[in-house]
Copies of this chain bind each other. A is one copy, B any other.
Amino acid sequence: MSVALNNARFNSKLTSQCQNCSLSALCLPISLADDDVNRLDQIIERKKPLKKGDILFRQGDEFESVYAVRTGTLKTFNITNSGEEQITGFYCPSELLGLSGIDKNIYPVSAKALETTTVCEIPFSHLEQLSEQIPTLKHQLFKVMSRKICDDQQMMVLLGKKNADEKVASLLLNLSARFKKRGYSATSFRLAMSRGEIGNYLGLAVETVSRVITRFQKNGMIQVDGKEISIIDLDQMQKLIGMSEDCDKIESI
Partner-B contacts on A (CB < 8 A)? 59-60, 78, 80-82, 84, 86, 88-89, 99-104, 106, 108-109, 128, 131-132, 135, 138-139, 141-150, 152-153, 155-157, 159-161, 200-203, 242-244, 246-247, 249-251, 253
CB of A152 within 8 A of CB of B156, answer yes
Q: Are A99 and B138 in contact (CB under 8 A)?
A: no
Would you list 18 pairs from A and B whose C-beta atoms are within 8 A, ordered by A residue?
A60-B253, A80-B242, A81-B249, A88-B157, A89-B153, A99-B146, A102-B142, A102-B145, A102-B146, A103-B149, A103-B150, A106-B253, A128-B138, A128-B139, A155-B156, A156-B159, A159-B160, A160-B200
B203–A147 touching, CB < 8 Å: no
Inter-chain contacts of A156 with B (CB < 8 A): 86, 88, 152, 155-156, 159
If A108-B250, A150-B103 touch, does A159 touch B242 (CB 8 Å cutoff)? no
When distances are taken between beta carbons in the complex, the residues of chain B under 8 Å from A201 are: 160
Residues of chain B contacted by A100 (CB below 8 angstroms): 146, 149-150, 153
How many copies of this kind of chain does the complex include?
A: 2
Contact A150 B246, CB 8 Å, known A60-B253, A155-B156: no
Please name all residues of chain B whose beta carbon is closer than 8 Å to the beta carbon of A144 when the two chains form the complex: 103
Quick one: which of B89, B141, B153, B247 contacts A142, CB cutoff 8 A?
B141
Query: Are B138 and A132 in touch, CB under 8 angstroms?
Result: yes
Q: Which residues of B contact A150 (CB under 8 A)?
A: 100, 103-104, 108
